Structure 1
């Protein structure tokens, strides 16, 4: 397998058939299948509008109608990681794990769903992250998936709901050899920057984007494209962000 596709912030709504999360997700999945046959799918948090078994299972079955490829999921601030883990044990469901090895690549899945100081923010258990770090291969290429951005970014209101202990995580990240990407969600928009040879990349929401030019309150940009990220694995790792018009 040489491709990882990241979808984020689906906010799947099970009952309201008019909710655009369903149709927009189908646009994304159809686009992915039109481009690629085999890939690993990573859902980087905020999977559902309501974190209950019915919504999670409905989302799983909805995606399974489009692909039989492996699907990994990490939680966002709207998710219930305990329930996700329970479903992964009891049902046919998304894979929930910390680390995946693909050839010379180590893929890390982090949980930032612990509640932050502000509603919507998150924290990471740094001891848990250090335990994962100890399992990484020294010379592997590495990608980390997490829901919350590890530094302040975007609109002023949004900066309050990034990762609360992001400074400590960034310090720990700097000790990792060959960390090629840290890919996150939560922003409902596309941001990219490179720091010390690591690309920090957000994933557009598959549902709707935030207008980050509005600094005082949450505002949706209904005209902005939805999308997903694709990571191409080889001797190195590259990426592309694919967007889809919803107008």
Structure 2
């Protein structure tokens, strides 16, 4: 089972431009997923799929996703607006207006939750959403489960993008997860960087964005003293592949830019491949 992830698409950053830079970057990633050697079984889009939450951006996203030969499962982040999302992507409502649902796969479950509070950049997770998650996790307590969400509940070190551990929503979410050992990990976006972190005995896998990335600068930032540091950088549009091998989810991170080949599998490398495979049992 191969699960592709894209995040932080920010379609509509340049409204009214059919040749928008962020749309071009999204299309480059979709080209790789559709035409490359690692075509996924499904694609998850983990929030901030639009930049302003406007109806036209969701229309353009639906058009972009329509060419995918695999199902696409979208969710929301802090730049999205639920009403416009639901209008273009119906069927992802948890019954309370939140974008929460479960993807049932043969060997595991992907439970998508909504961490959006409209008008706020940081995450949110209220008692209503927590009750839905609690009930959903109680359904199959022995099946390996991963939670899909936009905001990672951790302090990343990129100070202006941090989540503080004392934010109430983090405690609300964490208290639910602690009661369910089948939750193996979280799959997140929001940071515009690829990050992996241990959390509550689980793994958080955070994917870089298809839109331009947040600069990797771990120095403190002073809101009263602009210092001309880079904030956003135009690295290649990125994606993740999460491969379920029957035991655990293995996460890979790649980009849609050029990859210079330095070696290829030909007769010269055939002995090495045979030697490596012969070392393994079975």
Q: TM-score range by the shorter chain?
A: 0.7 to 0.9
Which residue number in structure 2 is paired with residue 180 of structure 1?
184
Contact 1:104-1:140 at 8 Å conserved across structures: yes
Q: Secondary structure at 1:50's aligned position in 2?
A: coil
- Shift of residue 35 of structure 1? 2.6
Q: Secondary structure at 1:167's aligned position in 2?
A: helix
Which residue number in structure 2 is paired with residue 9 of structure 1?
8
Which residue number in structure 1 is paired with residue 277 of structure 2?
none
Contact 1:28-1:244 at 8 Å conserved across structures: yes
Q: Secondary structure at 1:152's aligned position in 2?
A: coil
TM-score normalised according to structure 1 size: 0.85
Higher strand share: 1
Which residue number in structure 2 is paired with residue 93 of structure 1?
none
Q: Secondary structure at 2:190's aligned position in 1?
A: coil
TM-score normalised according to structure 2 size: 0.75
Over 6 Å off, 4+ runs:
none
Contact 2:125-2:172 at 8 Å conserved across structures: no
Which residue number in structure 1 is paired with residue 56 of structure 2?
54
* Alpha-carbon distance between aligned partners in 1 of 2:24 and 2:258, rounded to the nearest angstrom: 10
Q: Structure 2: 5+ residue runs without aligned partners?
A: 92-98, 224-229, 260-282
Q: Structure 1: 5+ residue runs without aligned partners?
A: 91-95
Once the two structures are superposed, the pairs formed by residues 58-137 of structure 1 within 5 Å of their partners are 58-65=60-67, 67-89=68-90, 97-115=100-118, 119-136=120-137, 137=140
RMSD: 2.6
Contact 2:65-2:72 at 8 Å conserved across structures: no
